[in-house]
Structure 1
Amino acid sequence: MIGPAWPIAALLVGYPLWWALGFGGLAVVVLAVPMAVLLWRRRPVKVPRGFGLWLLLLAGYLISGLMLGESPPGTYGDFGAGRLIGYGMRLALYCAVLVMVLYLGNLTERELPQLRLVRMLGVLFVTTVAGGLLGLLHPGFEFTSPVELLLPEWISENPFVRNLIHPTAAQTQKVLGFSLPRPEAPYEWANAWGSNASVLLVWFVVGWWVYGRARHKVFVAVVVALAAVPIVYSLNRGLWIGLGLAVLYLIVRVGGRTRAALCAAVAAGALAFLLSPLAPLFAQRLDRPHSNDIRAFTVSATLAAATHSPVIGYGNTRNATGNHRSITTGKTGWCRTCGHPPLGSDGQLWLLVITQGFTGAALYVAFFLGAIRRHWRDRSPIGLGGVLVMGFVLLYMFVYDGLVTPLSLYLISFALLWRNAQPAGGTS
């Protein structure tokens, strides 16, 4: 695409290339630079309602950096490069997605039609499904990216950084008592794949089914059927719950023949699923809540640590002393599953609580709740889809990290709602 919308096309349609290069979710940080330059040239810049809440969130994160050298009781770790890298990368991402939202909101409908933006998100959904299938068929697929080769080892070996710059197809975990690959390509980890798949599915259906022709609808049906395989094998209960609630949301919010058609489609899909080989795996996962104890430990430890800096948090995560099995920190000969889980690693809400205190968490919730409240009456396909995604944000914050790629998709969905509320798709 040639024109001012090229950075968005480069991000969404060109995402597989960014992933292969080793940028992945950090591509938005790179592309925020030309977006900021182009925004500066088209001043004055218009801002959405709720903009001040995100600015306060950013300001709070800057202030939280004062606590990077401190560690609350029940945690350990020295102030060093790893802590600074994590803080800096999160700050860059928070700033980049803000620039991206402003950029999208200031493009006119002629420069970037809403449907084109929605369909670009749909293209990324197809990429996500392909990555999910790759993870199942070739779970050991991985390679060293160019970015990984260029970075010094003390940066590239940082666990947080490595997840972002080292392309892998799947995470192999013992969730059901045996090793099973959980798709993650082309994202940073399996839970990010699950969160992104649900958000992108919304826009894929809106762009290519609701606004599509007959041949587009056949394509959608085939891709969604294929997507069911990695969605089940992802073992992401949060994703499954989100999709179930999405169906209920749509049944309630649409009416007439659309509701009847939706109910019929859901019934047919459910029957096909129950008769498929995927159903037993789904049932096994529900019967074995593998991660409940781990999540309960990290969440309680996060809340306990946050009470010692409830207003500004600690700027970055901290390692808990011990885990849900033992007070021992790290693996031992008699406890091979022991370790030191990072606080805030089980959901964006808990990450905000430890990094920015309860104040930061409240600002994040208020930002997305405000978007739902303002756009609830928009019953257009994009309005319904956008509000649904905002609901996903508030659901997933309890179980999935928003960083890195999910947050970009959340904010693009927010921008779609903002653009949809502007007169005639303009920028006023």
Structure 2
Amino acid sequence: MTTRPLLARDRGRGAPAGGTRAGGAVGSVDGTPVERLPAWPLVAPFAAYLLWWVLGVGDMVWILAGGAAVVLLVGVRGLRLPPGMLVWLFFLAWVLVSLVMIDSTGRLIGAVYRLLLYAAATALGIYAYTARSALPLVRITGAMTWFLAGMTVGGILAMVLPELVIRTPMAWVVPRGLAANDLVGEMVVRRTSQWKADAWEPQAVRPAAPFLYTNTWGNVYSLVLPLVLLHLSLVWRTRWRWPTALVAAASVVPAVSTLNRGMFIGLGVVGLWCAFQALRRGAVLPVLAAGVALVVAVGAWAASPAGRAFTNRVETTESTTDRAELYRMTVEGAATSPLFGFGAPRPAPQPWLPSLGTQGQFWTVLFSHGFIGIALFMGYFLVLVPMVVKRIDTAGAVLGGIVLATLVETSYYGMMTGIMVSVVAACLLMRPDTVVSTRAGPRTPVPPASTSRSPGRGGER
């Protein structure tokens, strides 16, 4: 759902300065020219995610795509890292060192898998920052729109067939011993929801497809929907306006069915930040109009059966109390191994609680990789905050809002899938050519930020 010419306004407002070694513009180099980097390593995993889910590849696609991105980037000499990425690379190194604390084969498989996902997010982020000709902003947000479309189809499928089990092609390929691992087994034999008809208490059907868990659905949705709405603003004057709007509108149905409190918090963070940045650039009336529309929409939803179900879940769930106890024990456990952590989550003393180091990426990193590990993990996003504040343009506000939402959501969401969106958004935030404002006024083209190249598909945003 992308389009050809895309123009921007207010070039230079909040754009990071180029020319530095860490974040300067990437130009022609002695190796493979950056103009020849293809788009597919980033587009394929996001846009076709529903296909990878059906095939049983699932989140392994991030690792495959990240590996492809690394291979393509290796041939680019003079490659420059996005600002702040060095902190993230130190985090990766610390995760690798922390593997020495693993005490079982099963935990080692999970720990290595998480390390590869972190590495994949790194590669995809650097690739999004570097391949500017092949990956203009509109193409990346278009890929996210297809991603959301796949999520919507999976979510609606879960609502219609909540007990559906799909034995994917990978189930016939993966060795039985490996498939016996809980994580691998859940990837190759797919379920559309976590709903059980024979549960002790009646449960609402909460979609999970095309992910393993409902919370993953909510986390990814809170990060992807803002990018889809950004895409809608970018293609508003093209034929892609209506398909994009349809995807965004249809996604609301499974989203509200997840009854996911954290999802609404994340969307609220992005929305409030975008409103604040819009006020900073003088767009008072649009913010007021959006606020009124939001109040009306929330009121209508609260009065609907979906709203009443959400309220009932908030009032009756005991997960908040359980999480608080789990987090307390996680911190106490991490304090007994503060340097390298334990390499991976471990069972809680109480059998009814989830494992220590789960129920939030912050706690997973803290327990698995110690206090230095969590400082590096959170530090990467925190060092971006000055740029988040500086980017008052529309695209910068959305990307910055995603960074802030990530900081908030790590406290209660496992983000091994959502981290792909977060790191890509963070790297796009640092690209000067992503400065786009939809404020009223004449549109003017933004010259390419990285190299001098002839007009064409690769040079558009």
Task: State whether TM-score is above 0.5.
Answer: yes
Please give the secondary structure, in 2, of the residue aligned with 1:235: coil
Please give the secondary structure, in 2, of the residue aligned with 1:143: strand
What does the per-residue CA deviation read over 1:158-213, in whole Å, with 9 as the maximum and x for residues that have no partner? 12223333322111169994122211111121111000111110011000135423
CA distance, structure 1, for counterparts of residue 250 and residue 363 of structure 2? 33
Note if 1:385 corresponds to 2:398: yes
CA distance, structure 2, for counterparts of residue 119 and residue 183 of structure 1? 24
- 171-180 or 268-277, which moves further after superposition? 171-180
Distance 1:112 1:223, change over 3 A: closer
- 307-316 or 271-280, which moves further after superposition? 271-280
Q: Identify which of 345, 348, 353 aligns with 1:320.
A: 348
Note if 1:284 corresponds to 2:307: no
Q: Do the aligned residues in 2 keep the contact of 1:22 with 1:165 (CA within 8 Å)?
A: yes
Bigger RCO (CA 8 Å, 6+ sep): 2
What does the per-residue CA deviation read over 1:349-401, in whole Å, with 9 as the maximum and x for residues that have no partner? 00001110111111111111112222321122221111111111111111100
The residue identity in structure 1 corresponding to 2:321 is D
Specify the alignment match of 1:49 in structure 2.
Answer: 83
CA distance, structure 2, for counterparts of residue 221 and residue 10 of structure 1? 22
Q: Do the aligned residues in 2 keep the contact of 1:353 with 1:360 (CA within 8 Å)?
A: yes
CA distance, structure 2, for counterparts of residue 384 and residue 21 of structure 1? 36
Specify the alignment match of 2:331 in structure 1.
Answer: 303
Q: Do the aligned residues in 1 keep the contact of 2:87 with 2:379 (CA within 8 Å)?
A: yes
The residue identity in structure 2 corresponding to 1:226 is A
CA distance, structure 1, for counterparts of residue 171 and residue 137 of structure 2? 36
Specify the alignment match of 1:181 in structure 2.
Answer: 205
Q: Identify which of 235, 253, 262 aligns with 2:259.
A: 235
What does the per-residue CA deviation read over 1:213-249, in whole Å, with 9 as the maximum and x for residues that have no partner? 3865555554444333322221211112222333332
- 190-199 or 243-252, which moves further after superposition? 243-252
Q: Do the aligned residues in 1 keep the contact of 2:223 with 2:266 (CA within 8 Å)?
A: no
Please give the secondary structure, in 1, of the residue aligned with 2:185: helix
TM (norm. structure 1) is: 0.87
Distance 1:3 1:362, change over 3 A: closer
Distance 1:314 1:427, change over 3 A: farther
Please identify which structure carries the higher helix content. 1
Please give the secondary structure, in 1, of the residue aligned with 2:195: strand
Specify the alignment match of 1:135 in structure 2.
Answer: 158
Note if 1:64 corresponds to 2:98: yes
The residue identity in structure 2 corresponding to 1:206 is L
Query: What is the correspondence of 1:127-206 to structure 2 with a 5 Å cutoff?
Result: 127-172=150-195, 177-206=201-230
Specify the alignment match of 2:430 in structure 1.
Answer: 418
CA distance, structure 1, for counterparts of residue 418 and residue 137 of structure 2? 20
Specify the alignment match of 1:88 in structure 2.
Answer: 112
Specify the alignment match of 1:401 in structure 2.
Answer: 414
Q: Identify which of 240, 247, 251 aligns with 2:275.
A: 251
Specify the alignment match of 2:30 in structure 1.
Answer: none
CA distance, structure 2, for counterparts of residue 101 and residue 272 of structure 1? 39
The residue identity in structure 2 corresponding to 1:29 is I
Note if 1:16 corresponds to 2:50: yes
CA distance, structure 2, for counterparts of residue 277 and residue 221 of structure 1? 24
CA distance, structure 2, for counterparts of residue 150 and residue 201 of structure 1? 34
Deviation at 1:136, TM superposition (A): 1.0
Distance 1:319 1:3, change over 3 A: same
What does the per-residue CA deviation read over 1:32-52, in whole Å, with 9 as the maximum and x for residues that have no partner? 222111111122211011111
Q: Do the aligned residues in 2 keep the contact of 1:389 with 1:413 (CA within 8 Å)?
A: yes
CA distance, structure 2, for counterparts of residue 424 and residue 162 of structure 1? 49
RMSD, aligned CA? 2.4
CA distance, structure 1, for counterparts of residue 245 and residue 433 of structure 2? 30
Distance 1:227 1:316, change over 3 A: same
Q: Do the aligned residues in 1 keep the contact of 2:230 with 2:398 (CA within 8 Å)?
A: yes
Please give the secondary structure, in 2, of the residue aligned with 1:319: coil
- 366-375 or 194-203, which moves further after superposition? 366-375
CA distance, structure 2, for counterparts of residue 343 and residue 147 of structure 1? 30
Deviation at 1:304, TM superposition (A): 1.3
Please give the secondary structure, in 1, of the residue aligned with 2:194: strand
CA distance, structure 2, for counterparts of residue 166 and residue 190 of structure 1? 16
Distance 1:300 1:164, change over 3 A: farther
The aligned length equals 401
Q: Do the aligned residues in 1 keep the contact of 2:269 with 2:401 (CA within 8 Å)?
A: no
